[in-house]
Structure 1
């Protein structure tokens, strides 16, 4: 995804501790044209894979997931970080946020994640893989099938991608960051 890589180099900002800020075009202010290109690339990369539901975790994964769902004409469900009082048949797990350095109990209704589902998980970042591992746990609890995981940006210098691939997960990352040392963005 040359357009995404170019935008990361042009507008991305690096902070100490391996943090890449892309809030001017991905996860605060969004570029809908770029988001559409991102979604189309996910659709192309998962072509031929059995998928009947797109799942993400709030909040930054919602925009790319909705675009993928729109193009594929599939429902999109997002895992919530706060447990609503009205949620029925709740499945829960705990995930650790690398960026915010805190644990969240996340939840999804088993009404919207069932044993019949073949899930494509879409998220903005893959760092240590905590949200992804939490999603795998929720999918397992529901008896659903994980068809694949798509990430807008993967940080190769953290272990998330390695962990998921070693588990046999079909992972597609559109931009892979090799290194952020000295706040210099190096893309594979």
Structure 2
């Protein structure tokens, strides 16, 4: 996605050689047109997989996952990171570290939203070490659903997250792959 690459170059902020802030287009501020383009791109890539649900983690993955689900005509479900008073006690729970937050959180997804017959597409905004994505994979497997693949908006190739999913035999489709971050700016792998 060339437009996404251009937006990353112009609006992304390199916080370190490991961290790229994309809060102007993915996190705090969401560009609806770009988000819908991302949704169409993922829907096209996974069109033959008979997806029945799109799953993500709150909160940064929700906008893109919603766009994908809308394009595929299926529900979107997200795992919460914080327990609330209304949290369903009958939930799958996986404890995962967060690379960007620097803390460990529990991913919680009510069991009633993952069925054995589901064919699930996992969507993530940025994959670094892949802990949240691997946590979601465990939740999907706990529900005995079929994981058809993972759609990643931004894959940081210099970190192990996406490769760890591929090593499990999971199909990973990334819209943008970043080779490095540094003084020369963002260097794309593609």
Separation in 2, partners of 1:76, 1:84: 20
Structure 1 contact 92–106 (Cα < 8 Å) conserved: yes
Structure 1 contact 151–173 (Cα < 8 Å) conserved: yes
Structure 2 contact 14–182 (Cα < 8 Å) conserved: no
Separation in 2, partners of 1:140, 1:57: 16
Aligned to 1:62: 62
Once the two structures are TM-superposed, the CA of residue 180 in structure 1 deviates from its matched residue by: 0.7
| Helix, strand or coil at the partner of 1:60 | coil
Separation in 2, partners of 1:89, 1:102: 24
1:51 aligns with 2:51: yes
| Helix, strand or coil at the partner of 1:48 | helix
1:184 aligns with 2:185: yes
Once the two structures are TM-superposed, the CA of residue 181 in structure 1 deviates from its matched residue by: 2.8
Structure 1 runs not aligned, ≥5 long: none
Separation in 1, partners of 2:102, 2:50: 35
Aligned to 1:23: 23
Separation in 1, partners of 2:125, 2:138: 19
Structure 2 contact 47–72 (Cα < 8 Å) conserved: no
Structure 2 contact 17–180 (Cα < 8 Å) conserved: no
Structure 1 contact 83–106 (Cα < 8 Å) conserved: no
Once the two structures are TM-superposed, the CA of residue 85 in structure 1 deviates from its matched residue by: 3.8
Separation in 2, partners of 1:142, 1:58: 19
Structure 2 contact 114–145 (Cα < 8 Å) conserved: yes
Aligned to 1:152: 153
| Helix, strand or coil at the partner of 1:92 | strand
Aligned to 2:98: 97
Query: Scaled by the length of structure 2, what TM-score is found?
Result: 0.95
Once the two structures are TM-superposed, the CA of residue 50 in structure 1 deviates from its matched residue by: 2.4
Once the two structures are TM-superposed, the CA of residue 150 in structure 1 deviates from its matched residue by: 0.4
Aligned to 1:34: 34
Structure 1 contact 118–147 (Cα < 8 Å) conserved: yes
Per-residue CA deviations over 1:69-127 (Å, capped at 9, x if unaligned) read: 11111000000011234314211001111001110011101100121111101111111
Per-residue CA deviations over 1:153-181 (Å, capped at 9, x if unaligned) read: 00000001111111110101100010013
Structure 2 contact 14–21 (Cα < 8 Å) conserved: yes
Separation in 1, partners of 2:5, 2:17: 21
Separation in 2, partners of 1:77, 1:140: 15
